């Protein structure tokens, strides 16, 4: 992965040479480049800001240096990140999504911000994300860029010495906060390590950790325990055998579109009967969404082996496609996976560009090394 930083304070990025990011750069896994925005100015004062149109306090960063910098730095496939308190909130889901990109260019603003035309222009030539660390204001975008960098690059394959350490940390396992952790000695200043952690029973340890993660999340971040409710309050509920007929109808509507996109009728979901759907409802953990009494969305998952969660049949009624329901269903089916799951896998049509964009934005990667059904591709993601 290549990371570029545009800033008027290049020294802010000295920490990139430290610890694991520095080692990753030395090994060739990462490539960092820090650029002084003033190098694209042409006056003796190297001026990068001016007074705002419309009046008001503060200064606004001028468009000319940014435009020239982008002309030189932006290559096909780059994603430009503007760190700004008015951006979308940064979270683990977004970190996972950005970790799939080949090149990130951080545009670090100062003063009252960057001239809006710079952002509009960047959207014409590259993918643009405006990202905020939280509901507060910093002096500039450099600190936010460093925080985003650390959250993203640690997700790259080969970055962490022990990849398992990514599985059970906060926000990674079903969106829960991490359970309490302990080390030696077993007794310290009157505080004892819970007996279950010293029992040697791995099943009981896993159950205790999951229970503690849920309890801690409920106490500190109850908002994270709502994957089963849509933004409008509509619940995502487990399917019942009585839903089979409506699921079959929804399935055929969705996979006719897939057949058109992939120019083939050789799709299992199109060939299934009512009895087939009733059969697999007993084998898969299936969830549905109803609006005004109508079944408009569904998704299923099941355990493959000991640690892989197989995701399938993400379905959204054609008139609701593009509303974000598919993304919510995908997030939900990941969140309800059993505690021992360490990876997700799914497949979609080789020519289903819209589906592939959804999955890649959610952090899934194409897996050409895994066998795929005819006319399909396989994608996977670490939990």
Question: Beta strand 103-108 with 187-188: parallel, antiparallel or unpaired?
Answer: unpaired
CB 336 within 8 Å of CB 210: no
18's CB contacts (< 8 A; 6+ apart) are none
Angle at 182 between CA 180 and CA 183, to 5 degrees: 165
For 20, other C-beta atoms within 10 Å of its C-beta total 15
Query: Could you tell me the two tokens for 310?
Result: 């197989």
Q: Known binder of ligand: residue 138?
A: yes
Q: Known binder of ligand: residue 146?
A: no
Q: Known binder of ligand: residue 197?
A: no
* Beta bridge mates, 310: 302, 345
Determine the number of helices (DSSP H) and then strands (DSSP E) in the chain.
11, 16
| Tokens 């260019």 belong to residue | 105
User: According to DSSP H, which parts of the chain are helical?
Assistant: 19-27, 63-73, 92-98, 116-125, 142-153, 202-220, 244-262, 268-271, 274-281, 325-335, 353-361
Sheet holding 365-366, edge to edge: 236-238, 285-291, 294-304, 308-316, 343-349, 376-382, 365-366
What does the radius of gyration of the chain's CA atoms come to, in whole angstroms? 24
Q: Known binder of ligand: residue 136?
A: yes
Q: Known binder of ligand: residue 322?
A: no
SS3 state of residue 201? coil
Q: Positive or negative CA dihedral for 73, 78, 84, 90?
A: negative
Question: Beta strand 103-108 with 2-7: parallel, antiparallel or unpaired?
Answer: parallel
Q: Known binder of ligand: residue 133?
A: yes
CB 65 within 8 Å of CB 37: yes
Q: Known binder of ligand: residue 181?
A: no
Annotated binding-site positions: 109, 133-138
Annotated binding-site positions for S-adenosyl-L-methionine: 109, 133-138
């Amino acid at each position: 992965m290549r990371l570029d930083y545009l800033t008027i304070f290049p020294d802010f990025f000295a920490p990139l040479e430290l610890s694991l990011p520095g080692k990753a750069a030395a090994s060739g896994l990462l490539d960092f480049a820090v650029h002084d925005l003033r190098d694209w100015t042409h006056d003796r004062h190297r001026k990068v800001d001016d007074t705002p149109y419309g009046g008001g306090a503060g200064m606004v960063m001028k468009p000319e240096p940014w435009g020239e910098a982008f002309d030189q730095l932006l290559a096909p496939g780059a994603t430009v990140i503007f760190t700004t308190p008015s951006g979308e909130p940064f979270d683990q889901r977004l970190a996972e999504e950005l970790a799939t990109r080949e090149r990130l260019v951080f545009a670090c603003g100062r003063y009252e911000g960057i001239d809006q035309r710079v952002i509009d222009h960047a959207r014409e030539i590259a993918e643009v994300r405006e990202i905020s660390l939280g509901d507060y204001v910093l002096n500039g975008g450099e600190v936010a860029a460093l925080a985003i960098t650390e959250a993203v690059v640690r997700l790259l394959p080969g970055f962490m010495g022990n990849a398992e350490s990514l599985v059970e940390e906060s926000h990674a396992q079903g969106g829960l906060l991490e359970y309490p952790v302990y080390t030696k000695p077993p007794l310290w200043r009157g505080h004892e390590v819970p007996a279950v952690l010293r029992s040697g029973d791995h099943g009981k340890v896993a159950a205790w950790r999951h229970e503690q993660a849920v309890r801690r999340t409920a106490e500190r971040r109850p908002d994270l325990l709502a994957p089963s409710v849509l933004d409008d309050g509509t619940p995502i509920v487990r399917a019942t055998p009585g839903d089979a007929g409506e699921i079959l109808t929804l399935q055929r509507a969705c996979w006719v579109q897939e057949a058109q996109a992939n120019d083939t009728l050789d799709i299992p979901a199109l060939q299934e009967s009512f009895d087939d759907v009733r059969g697999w409802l007993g084998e898969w953990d299936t969830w549905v969404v109803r609006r005004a009494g109508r079944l408009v969305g569904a998704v299923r998952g099941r355990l493959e082996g000991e640690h892989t969660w197989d995701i399938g049949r993400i379905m959204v009624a054609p008139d609701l496609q593009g509303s974000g329901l598919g993304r919510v269903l995908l997030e939900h089916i990941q969140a309800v996976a059993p505690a021992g799951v360490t990876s997700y896998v799914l497949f979609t049509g080789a020519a289903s560009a819209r589906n592939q964009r959804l999955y890649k934005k959610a952090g899934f990667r194409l897996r050409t090394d895994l066998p795929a059904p005819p006319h399909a591709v396989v994608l996977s993601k670490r939990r």
